[in-house]
Amino acid sequence: MRQLVFGLVLGWGWSACGQTAPAADRVAKQNALFEEFYQTELKNSPERATAYGDYRYNSQLGQYSLAEIARQHAEADDFLARLKAIPTDGMSDKDLLSHRILEKRLEREDVNYALKNYEMPVNQQNGVHTRLADLPNAVPFDSVPHYGITSHGCAKSRACWNRTLR
């Protein structure tokens, strides 16, 4: 009888320990998610990528259509679900803080979407009038390719202005 009880307790304890991956694996998974989120943010905001010194998206401007806003919202919801699926127990304070900061940011974006903040795209500090005006400050003019990229971006800017003003 004692052997049976001992076996059940040992089996229960072993199964409880095996349910979560080691903290190092979960931190690595979290860091990979952070990197994917960062790269997605750069792709979704090419002007910001240029300002950070990443010139992969220089020939593009950010998209602000309702369909693109809905797509980015769904993408953010996916990131939030994947982040919440990573258990935080056993993580260092630094990793736990990083987890909570991104979680709160994504939850805040979800609330902003529910409040339809995207329907108020222009105010005294943000909007097409400031983004396009600040674009030359973000683009370094230290090589010939940067000038070519900027002229291509300006053509897209004119098209963007024309769509906005209609």
pLDDT tens readout for residues 28-58: 999 999 999 999 999 999 988 988 888 888 8
Residue 138 lies in a domain: yes
Residue 90 lies in a domain: yes
Residue 9 lies in a domain: no
Contact 40, 54 (CB under 8 A): no
Residue 11 lies in a domain: no
Residue 5 lies in a domain: no
Residue 94 lies in a domain: yes
Residue 91 lies in a domain: yes
Number of CB atoms found within 10 A of residue 84's CB: 13
pLDDT tens track for 118-152 = 998 888 888 877 877 887 777 777 777 666 555 55
Residue 12 lies in a domain: no
Residue 98: domain span: 20-165
pTM of structure: 0.74
Count up the domains in the chain and report the number: 1
Contact 62, 77 (CB under 8 A): no
Closest to 121 measured CA to CA, from 85, 69, 59, 74: 69
List C-alpha distances in Å: 84 to 26, 57, 77: 12, 30, 11
The H or E element that residue 97 is part of is helix 93-114
Residue type, 68: E
